[in-house]
Amino acid sequence: MQAHRREMTVMNDEELLGKALHVAREAGLLLLRKHGAVLPFGLTLDSAGDNPRTFFPRDQLPRASWDELLEATIGHLERSAGSADVGAIALVTTLESGSESGLGVQVETHSSSLFLVYPYSGTGQSWRLGEPQKAEGVLVGPLLAQDD
C-alpha cells in the first residue's frame, strides 16, 4: 500500500451514516419496484461518502436461499470492512413478520450503527416506503462499527 497524501473531503460519521442510509434505501426501493421484493445485498461508501459499490450475491448464486444470500452479503461486507477506505457499509433486505413486510436497512460507520425497517405497500411501480421504525440492536454484526 502506498503512503501518499490525498486531498479529499472526509465526511463525519453522522453524514456518512445518513448518506449510506439514503443510497441503500433508494437502491432497495428500485429493486422492490423491479422485482417485488429485495433480496439481501450490500453497499459500501468510501470515507468521503463517494464511490458507492453494491454487491448483489444473487448474481453469483442464482439458486441460493435467502439465508445463503444473507451469509454471502455479510461475508462480502466483512471483507470490505477491512479495506483502507471504506467509511460506511449497508446491508439491505426484505424482512417479514406475519403479514407485514418491510425493507430492512442496517448502516454502519466505524463508530456507529443504525438499523431501520421501512414498512412498504403497493405493487409494480407504485411501491411506497412508510415511515421508518428504528429496530433494537442490529440485524447482524456489527461488521464495521467498533465497540469501544
**What does DSSP say about strands 88-97 and 128-129: parallel, antiparallel, or unpaired?**
unpaired
Sign of CA dihedral 33, 38, 44, 49: positive
- pLDDT tens sequence across 21-58: 999 999 999 999 888 889 999 999 998 888 899 999 99
Q: How far is CA 49 from CA 69, 112, 147, 148, in A?
A: 26, 15, 22, 23
pLDDT at 137 over 60: yes
pLDDT-derived band at 3, boundaries 50, 70, 90? very low
Q: How does the average pLDDT of the chain come out, rounded?
A: 84
The pLDDT of residue 53: 92
pLDDT-derived band at 147, boundaries 50, 70, 90? very low
Map out the domains of the chain as residue ranges. Answer: 13-134
pLDDT at 5 over 60: no
The three cell numbers of residue 99 are: 403479514
Whether 137 and 113 have beta carbons less than 8 Å apart is answered as no
The pLDDT of residue 93: 92
Phi, psi dihedrals of residue 93, rounded to the nearest 5°:
-165, 165
pLDDT at 125 over 90: no
The pLDDT of residue 148: 38
pLDDT at 106 over 60: yes
